[in-house]
Amino acid sequence: MDELTAHPISLPRIGEPAPEFTAVTTQGTINFPADYKGSWVILFSHPADFTPVCTSEFMTFAHMESQFAEAGCKLVGLSVDGLYSHIAWLRTIKEKIEYRGMKNIEVKFPLIEDITMEVARKYGMIQPGESNTKAVRAVFIIDPKGIIRTIIYYPLSLGRNFDELYRALIALKTADEFGIATPADWRPGDDVIISPAASCSSAQNRMEGKEEGLECKDWFFCTKKISKESVLSKVIKKS
DSSP characters for 206-220? Answer: HHTT-STT-EEEETT
pTM of the model: 0.92
Q: State mean pLDDT over 49-63.
A: 96
Q: Are 232 and 188 in contact (CB under 8 A)?
A: yes
**Does 137 appear as a known binding residue?**
yes
Measured between alpha carbons, how far is 61 from 109 in angstroms, rounded to an integer? 9
Pick the CATH number of 179-235 from 3.40.50.620, 3.40.50.300, 3.30.1020.10, 3.40.50.1370: 3.30.1020.10
130 pLDDT tier (thresholds 50, 70, 90)? confident
Q: Quick check: 214 pLDDT over 70?
A: yes
Euclidean distance between the first and the last CA atom of the chain, given in angstroms as a whole number:
56
Closest to 3 in 3D by CA, of 114, 113, 134, 119 = 134
Write out the catalytic residue numbers.
54
CA distances from 185 to 41, 135, 168, 192 (A): 22, 29, 10, 11
Contacts of 230 (CB under 8 A, 6+ apart): none
Helix (H, G, I), strand (E, B) or coil at 30: strand
pLDDT, tens digit (0-9, with 9 covering 90-100), for 18-41: 999 999 999 999 999 999 999 999
Q: Quick check: 202 pLDDT over 90?
A: no
The CATH class of 3-161 is: alpha beta
Closest to 7 in 3D by CA, of 178, 125, 149, 173 = 125
Amino acid at 76: V
Closest to 15 in 3D by CA, of 146, 121, 171 = 146
CA 41 to chain centre: 7
pLDDT, tens digit (0-9, with 9 covering 90-100), for 61-110: 999 999 999 999 999 999 999 999 999 999 999 999 999 999 999 999 99
Q: What is the 3-state secondary structure of 115-166?
A: CCCHHHHHCCCCCCCCCCCCCCEEEEEECCCCEEEEEEEECCCCCCCHHHHH
Q: State mean pLDDT over 219-225.
A: 92
Helix (H, G, I), strand (E, B) or coil at 175: helix
Q: How many CB atoms sit inside 10 A of residue 36's CB?
A: 19
Per domain, the residue ranges of the chain are 3-161, 179-235
